[in-house]
Amino acid sequence: MNLEHIDSFSLEATFSFEKITAKGTARISFKSRTCEFYSDFVPLLPLNSPVTILTRYNGVKVFIIYGPTFVSSKRFVRIQPINITLCEGAEEVIEVPVKIPVSCVK
């Protein structure tokens, strides 16, 4: 999966808040710095509750997403703004563009 030109994308995910977990789908937008989690069950959370979402692609851990809740309902939660950590081994299933400044010398 190449993320260079994608505004938003969905991954299988596990939602965590304190001792509560739920499996579902996370839709991540780098542009708007948001993550929307969808599932059959999502706990109703107060505004700014700190949550964590672990995403997977083909069973491989890809991103750990942290952030405060912005909107919460029985089947949906939006986290905004988000902080994202790339998991070890994620490079096996995704491509993340990296710009490295270089110069040539004689």
What integer is the mean pLDDT of 63-73? 95
Looking at per-residue pLDDT, the higher value among 76 and 97 belongs to 76
- In contact, 10 and 27? CB cutoff 8 Å: yes
Domain ranges in the chain are 8-92
Q: Residue 27 carries which side chain, given as an amino acid letter?
A: R
Query: Mean pLDDT across the chain, nearest whole number?
Result: 89
Q: How far apart are CA 82 and CA 103, in angstroms?
A: 34
Q: What is the CA radius of gyration of the chain?
A: 16
Using the predicted structure, report yes or no on whether residue 96 has a pLDDT greater than 70. Answer: no
| One CATH from 2.40.10.220, 3.40.190.10, 2.30.110.10, 3.30.70.3340 for 8-92 | 2.40.10.220
- In contact, 94 and 1? CB cutoff 8 Å: yes
Looking at per-residue pLDDT, the higher value among 50 and 105 belongs to 50
Q: Residue 58 carries which side chain, given as an amino acid letter?
A: N
The most distant pair of C-alpha atoms in the chain lies apart, rounded to whole Å, by: 63
Burial of 98 (0-12, 13-18, 19+ CB in 10 A): exposed
What integer is the mean pLDDT of 75-96? 88
Q: How far apart are CA 97 and CA 5, in angstroms?
A: 10
In the beta sheet, which residues pair with residue 104? none
